[in-house]
Amino acid sequence: MGICANEFREYVVQPTLKDIDFPSLFAENLLLGTAAVESDLGSHLHLADHASLGIYQISPTTHRKIWDTFLYNRHDLASKVRGLASQREFLLRPHAELATNLSYSTAIALMVYLSTKKNFDELAANNPQVLADTWLQYFKSEQSESNGSSERFIESYNHLILKKKVVA
């Protein structure tokens, strides 16, 4: 059983977006949908056969790439994201933060999307198909490679975020 979607939105996603000065309903819904499809909203934080970690299933390679190619010259944004990480653990085991620190991993997941330079269409914030297409094109993790499709995203989003019954 994963995390309650409404509580995850209220206590993690919204405050994280506020902390990094990025208020966006599209980003909120995209991050919730990403967590839903990647880990069933936290039902698993690491699969034995994959390197990816956390509620968003971000790989250490992607994590490093975000810091080395996207945040490295965006000092204000990098400072805000780094401020979400644990003081000691980030220095000792930075990739573990992806599994143990929901705010930090949420910020990094957002950075994955922002690094693509795709503009978020706030008018499509409540459109699961647009959210799914964005995830599929810019995020899909190694965990979701085998079963990653926009249909799978929409199914997870409807079931875990919108709480709609999935008809088999």
Mean pLDDT of the chain, nearest integer: 90
Average pLDDT over residues 111-124: 93
- How does residue 142 score in pLDDT terms, banded at 50, 70 and 90? low
| 146: pLDDT strictly greater than 70 | no
pLDDT at 46: 78
pLDDT in tens, 20-53: 999 999 999 999 999 999 999 988 887 767 788 9
Percent of the chain surpassing pLDDT 90: 73
Q: Which amino acid, 146?
A: S
Domain positions in the chain are: 5-161
- How does residue 143 score in pLDDT terms, banded at 50, 70 and 90? low
pLDDT at 157: 94
Average pLDDT over residues 87-107: 91
The pTM of the full predicted model, rounded to 2 decimals, is 0.92
User: Alpha-carbon distance 94 to 98, whole Å?
Assistant: 8
